[in-house]
């Protein structure tokens, strides 16, 4: 009756092949579980990014976790004091591997306007940071852009290299 069904003629037209590591990186990048760690006004912008207007959930990270044991991304949003530093380090250590950190805002990245005895001049002095987002406070679009950069980093990362670094520290 004029209807033709195009049947694939070769195996290459039927199968999709890829590396297991690429599939794992894709699944990690599209299902990130962030833990909330809002310390100042940047937390308001982080909450706005999770609301319906900006819809952080469309990137696979909409449900903020309340405990680090269920999260693989920590977003530090705000001023970090010396009194808060051991708490941040403890929470970071409780996160399962692989784990990532975003420093959001001028205070988290470089201390902001608070150059005093009680303020740490960048959270990277306590824990390793993967993405820095500048601004005071940065807009929700900036957080989304930074998160997309983190997804790119996750997609191109090698799990073997990450664990090699861990074993060298222990070792």
42 is in an annotated binding site: yes
Sheet arrangement for strand 73-77: 34-38, 73-77, 100-104, 131-133
Residue 63 lies in a domain: yes
* pLDDT given at position 123: 94
Q: Which two tokens stand for residue 134?
A: 């500048």
If one counts the domains in the chain, the total is 1
CATH number at residue 139: 3.40.50.12280
* pLDDT given at position 2: 61
Residue 142 lies in a domain: yes
140 is in an annotated binding site: no
Residue 5 lies in a domain: no
Residue 143 lies in a domain: yes
Rounded distance between C-alpha atoms, residue 45 and residue 106, angstroms: 13
User: Which residues fall within 8 angstroms of residue 14, CB to CB, at 6 or more apart?
Assistant: 8
Confidence of residue 114 (pLDDT cuts 50, 70, 90): confident
136 is in an annotated binding site: yes
pLDDT higher at 56 or 119: 119
Task: Give the range of the structural domain holding residue 108, as residue numbers without chain letter.
Answer: 32-160
Residue 125 lies in a domain: yes
* pLDDT tens-place string over residues 139-167: 999 999 999 999 999 888 876 666 666 66
**Structural element, H or E, at residue 115:** none
* pLDDT tens-place string over residues 8-46: 666 666 666 677 888 888 888 888 889 988 888 888 888
Residue 49 lies in a domain: yes
Residue 150 lies in a domain: yes
User: Is residue 132's pLDDT more than 70?
Assistant: yes
Rounded distance between C-alpha atoms, residue 92 and residue 73, angstroms: 9
125 is in an annotated binding site: no
Residue 15 lies in a domain: no
């Amino acid at each position: 009756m004029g209807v033709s069904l195009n049947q694939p003629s070769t195996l290459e037209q039927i199968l999709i092949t890829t590396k297991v590591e690429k599939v794992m990186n894709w699944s990690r990048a599209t299902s990130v579980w962030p833990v909330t760690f809002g310390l100042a006004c940047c937390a308001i912008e982080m909450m706005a990014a999770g609301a319906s207007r900006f819809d952080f959930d469309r990137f696979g990270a909409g449900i903020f976790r309340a405990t680090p044991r269920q999260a693989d991304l920590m977003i530090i949003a705000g001023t970090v004091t010396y009194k808060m530093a051991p708490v941040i380090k403890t929470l970071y250590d409780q996160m399962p591997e692989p784990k990532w950190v975003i420093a959001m805002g001028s205070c988290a990245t470089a201390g902001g306007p608070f150059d005093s005895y009680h303020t740490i001049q960048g959270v990277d002095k306590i824990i390793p940071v993967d993405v820095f987002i500048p601004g005071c406070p940065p807009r929700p679009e900036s957080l989304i852009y930074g998160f997309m950069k983190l997804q790119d980093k996750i997609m191109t990362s090698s799990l073997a290299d990450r664990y090699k670094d861990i074993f060298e520290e222990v070792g």
